[in-house]
Structure 1
Amino acid sequence: MTVTNKELGLEIAKRVEGYIQKDQLSQEDVDTILKESEANYNENVNPGWLPYREIMSTDPMFSEWSQREGEFFSDVKGTEFIDCLGGFGIFLAGHKNTEIMKTVHAQLDRYPQHSQDLVNPLQGYFSHLMGLITPGDLQAVWPTNGGTEATEAAIKLSKLATGGKWFISTVNAYHGLSTGALSLIGNADYRSPFTPNIQQVQHVKYGDAEQMENAIVNLQSVGEKVAAVILEPIQGEGGIIIPPAGYLKKVREICDKYGVAMICDEIQTGLGRTGALWRTEAEGIVPDILLFGKAIGGGCMPLTGIIARPWMVTEALVENPTLVSMPTFGGNPLAMSAGIASIRYILENDIPQLVKEKGEYFLKKLNEIQKKYPEMLKEVRGTGLMIGLVLPDMDIMHDFCKEMFSRKVMTSATMNDVTVARIEPCASISYESIDKVCEVIEESIQALMK
């Protein structure tokens, strides 16, 4: 017989609602939250999570609780930090963007969720806007909730549209952790515990178009049809890797030559993060499927998806519109309102240009620091506000993040290259905060050298 404790559950739920609704936590509230959070994570989340946090933080129980509009957030104790982790890119429009949240609040009061089979006007408007702001003739949109869902939709759509079964991905790529997406990422640590994944996947060196073409030719020569190539215009979790000039154009030509769909994962690079609205647009190409996410939710709603060219909408999809992707919450009114407001905010404030200017300022200062401490800061790379700091090894990188954390700046390593610390602040970060972050980076390097 299953035993539950509904009375205790009700008491805790009411108490936590009270914390959420309070303007200011008392010291007793803070102490209770920290104590119970530790127990909750160890018992109900994962006992490895807090030790994992200790790797890059001087306080494993650090708990984000509130945000101030822009680049700042606070913990439950009220200590304020500059955020250079940026939720892996979701806070492009800043924390607690009041312009975007105003629209989401209005939609919450109108109707927060949809009834599935009915027409959702906001999904139609959002999809139309995405068609207007993406490169070329990208047009058909499937909204999803997380990046890995978007990857799964892209896998299915490219199979359906091309009739192919094989995929070419790249080493150090990151496209999500669900079974299909996991097959495409280029990191053994995540793939190996779950093999065999999708078997029809080959990985080639990122930035090497010749390897890409050879893989396609070899497969086709033995009768295997390739459905798609998938790559990031800049590898984010791979360590902020910018490919050689002309690489994406060459891959586009290869895909056209052999009848292979080109999927570009712009979940992290899109919407202005690199100093252009889309990195593919800056590279002068139009993919057959573009993945979007992170910044499109305005930092307040989960929203991702794919947008595809018209030729990919096959007769089978017209006959069964649910065939590729139909998540329960995909295209929900709250997410759509956040997406529409984010697009308006990004266009109206010319976020790509703002990011370009601040990124150039940031990179100039960081390169000056690198020249002073080349043995510790091996390299600075990136574009816009998607920047990687390359440290000598994993342990030094972890210590570097701890030093940064102790000085109230939050950053972390990229997932597939743990020698790289990411700098991905919001577009609205002030020049004063940029100067402060650079000061903290230099102080942290000096502390490590001692």
Structure 2
Amino acid sequence: MLLLTRNLKRLAAVTLTAISFNWSSLQAQPPATLPAPEALKPAPAPTPVLKLQDALHFALENNPALASQRKQRGIAVARVVIAEQYPFNPVAENRIQGASGPESAGVSNNLPIEQLLLWEVETRNQKQFRKEGANATLSRTEWEIAYFEQTLAIDVLRAYTLALYRQEKLKLLEENLRINERLVEDVRRLVGLGKLRSADLILAQTEVVDTQDLVGAGRETMVAARQDLNRVLGSVDGVFQLEGRLDSQAWNWESASEGLQETALNRRADLKARQMAVAEATANTKLTIANRYGNPIVGPVMTYDPSRAFSIGLQLNVPLPFANSKKGEILQSQAEQAQAAQLLRQAEFTVKQEVIASLARLAAAQKRLEQIEKRGLPTLGQAVQDIEKLFQAGEPGVDVLKVIDVRRKLLRARDNYLDALWSVRQSLIDVAAATGEPLVEPKKPEEKKP
């Protein structure tokens, strides 16, 4: 206790010394001025950056359509529980009657009783068929949910790529606007030097006005693209910055056509759902055939008659399917089974077509992109530099109209370049959708070794 008291006193002394030191240092400094009202305002929070991977995770967790689709699994699970339960309950039948008659009838019991306990019994393995059908329904529902998730991921990829594409287009228009504004300043300076006419200045100014309208239209389309992205994300008014690039590595997918077809047949969730639909229809057909003759009803019977005689026995009711042997129901279930099998074959054929078509579009898009990269942009970029040098040097015959025309062609080429990048990205997304593998960054398929 004494040691604790000494420590507390020592701590208090050190604290008082520090307070007096700080007070003396404050007295030596000049009085601080109050900050301006603007400085008291909190700094605006930075806009969050939305990466593609984060967008996919957010959509899979918050999209309301996907959330409602996932509730279908609960219904399918309930059907499995129903299938595992026995469908019939025993029936207890009690008959109490009043008995009377002449003495010669020998009525000694005025309340004869008859009691029956009957139960319909399945004898053709119907429970197993019901369980097979219910489990197939559950698997089909889970694969349908997985396909909905794959489709949603593809929609997110498309919406994110479109928003990024519109963002890059807007940046290009804004850059062109700044270039045209600098062109106006250059033309105004040259007009002041007497090298150009006032008509050239008017032409440059009208080009700025025209570009401003294009920038406004670009902002409008970008806002629409962001709203589409919010819709697939499951967000009402999300504010974010997009992070990513449109360009991608060029690959030769044509040699991997067969491998991608096999991948699609193994990974497409809708194909798995079709397969489970065939299993479900097969189980339903077996159940319909098993129920064609009905089920017997058995149970014990006890009677206590008017003469006080007590008897007990067994009752058996057997249906006689002469009038209706369920031929129509069996034909219907068999037709549904054949239809499910045909739909599966149709889906497999469609998947192979989608893979081939997406690869063809990808090859065409990459060819166009390569042409713009190697020929269009370098040629027009050099042409703009040359025409601007001639214009600044006051070359005879090089007026503002020629400079604007060459710049427009370069702008169109850069715009076409963005279109080509977007087409390649869309084609890659088509490949991902066809193969059932919505990759964030598409990977090059492994080449077969010779």
TM-score normalised by the chain length of structure 1: 0.18
TM (norm. structure 2) is 0.18
Larger radius of gyration: 2
More helix by share: 2
Higher strand share: 1
